[in-house]
Structure 1
Amino acid sequence: MKKDSERRILLGRVTGAFGIRGEVKLESWTEPRLAIFNYQPWILRTPAGQESEISGVRGREASKTLVATFPGVDDRNVVEAMRGTEIHIARSALPPPKPDEYYWVDLEGLDVQTVDGVKLGRVSHLFDTGANDVLVVRGDRERMLPFVLDDVVKSIDFDANLIVVDWDPEF
């Protein structure tokens, strides 16, 4: 597992140009979506894998999209070439989570076992169903467990790299 300072969190992506003055349309996965501007510097990763760091990005909502101004970028052609660029931040840029709250990125890679000690595998990723979050655990097979504290998820121990769940291993 990477150290927090090395881990990155994907916050959004450049989706295209807005207007002719070099403004950038963004897709944000933060909640609320404008919160993406609170976390800087950004690590930009192009579809070709090139990375650069940028600070001082400002933005606003415009209809159904976010519009950003990148320092030193004022040309629509430059912005169009950035389409698909991912916006990451270092995990260390996030504030500590509140008690009983977790950043998904911190749960990824943890081992999962039942309350009876049966190893189910490792957390691959999480996703939101609208009703609740779901842990995707890969081991002898892939399992999807509802991330419901106390009911399904009994404990999370980062020091032991372990999540204990009340779950039938046959399910």
Structure 2
Amino acid sequence: MENLLRVGVISSTHGVKGEVKVFPTTDDPARFKSLKKVMLDTGREHMDLEIQGVKFFKNMVILKFKGFDSIDEIEKYKGKDLLIWRDQAVKLGPDENFIIDLIGLRVVTEDGAEFGTLTDVIKTGANDVYEVRTGEGKDVLLPAIKECVLGVDLEEGIITVHIMDGLLD
């Protein structure tokens, strides 16, 4: 299980005083208000950053990090991921999982037949959609609703699904 979780991606700078616009990759962007630190994945190393200020603009989060006071200091980190440790993450409710824990799980039908591997989770607003690559190499989209996704067993690495009528047409 992955111990680092991505909560956002620096999309651009904001102003000239070292602020950045962050595209949140978390369900609840307001969670940035409670974060004190994040880890920046530079591609070569991980840097701990202390959050000094948080603002919101449209679908973006604007962050100010301690020690970065000009556009020149922060500009080189555009496109880089912001990570947190799993123990900093929002506590999940029943039947909730982190997407990173689902990717790569085996998908089986309710009668135990191999169906494929979960390759992506698409956020649609109404409900998530699971993208599953079948053994034949076909991509199938399954709605992540109780009628279709019957169970997730992270320890066994299996998602059990009911293939609803019309989903494979």
Question: What TM-score does the superposition give when structure 2 sets the normalisation length?
Answer: 0.82
Q: Does 1:162 align with 2:161?
A: no
Percentage of identical aligned residues: 26
Contact residue 109 and residue 123 of structure 1 kept, 8 A: yes
Residues 26-77 of structure 1, C-alpha deviations (whole Å, 9 max, x = no match): 222334423234345322123x544312233421125664322111111221
Q: Which residue among 68, 81, 90 is the counterpart of 1:73?
A: 68
| Cα distance change, pair 27–95 in 1 and its aligned pair in 2 (3 A) | closer
Q: Could you list the runs of 5+ residues in structure 1 that have no partner in the other structure?
A: none
1:16-165 paired onto structure 2 within 5 Å: 16-46=12-42, 48-62=43-57, 65-140=60-135, 141=137, 142-149=139-146, 151-165=147-161
Q: Which residue of 10, 15, 26 maps to 2:11?
A: 15
Q: 1:64 to 1:95 in 2, by over 3 A?
A: closer
Which amino acid in 2 is paired with 1:127? I
3-state SS of paired residue (2:51) = coil
Q: Which moved more, 1:27-36 or 1:124-133?
A: 27-36
Partner Cα separation in structure 2 for residue 32 and residue 156 of structure 1 = 22
Secondary structure at 1:55 match in 2: strand
| CA deviations over 1:112-155 (Å, ceiling 9, x no partner) | 10011110122112012233211112231222111111x11112
Cα distance in 2 for partners of 1:132, 1:14 equals: 26
Q: Which amino acid aligns with 1:78?
A: E
**Mapped partners of 1:62, 1:159: distance in 2:** 39
Residue 22 (structure 1) shift: 1.8
What is the number of equivalent residue pairs in this alignment?
Answer: 165
For residues 31 and 143 of structure 1, do their structure 2 counterparts lie closer, same or farther at Cα, with a shift above 3 Å needed? closer
Give the AA of the match of 2:144: F
CA separation in 1, counterparts of 2:58 and 2:97?
31
Query: Which secondary structure does the structure 2 equivalent of 1:56 belong to?
Result: strand
Determine if contact 1:111/1:123 at 8 Å carries over to the other structure: yes
Superposed CA RMSD in Å reads: 2.5
Q: Does the CA contact (< 8 Å) of 2:107 and 2:114 recur in 1? A: yes
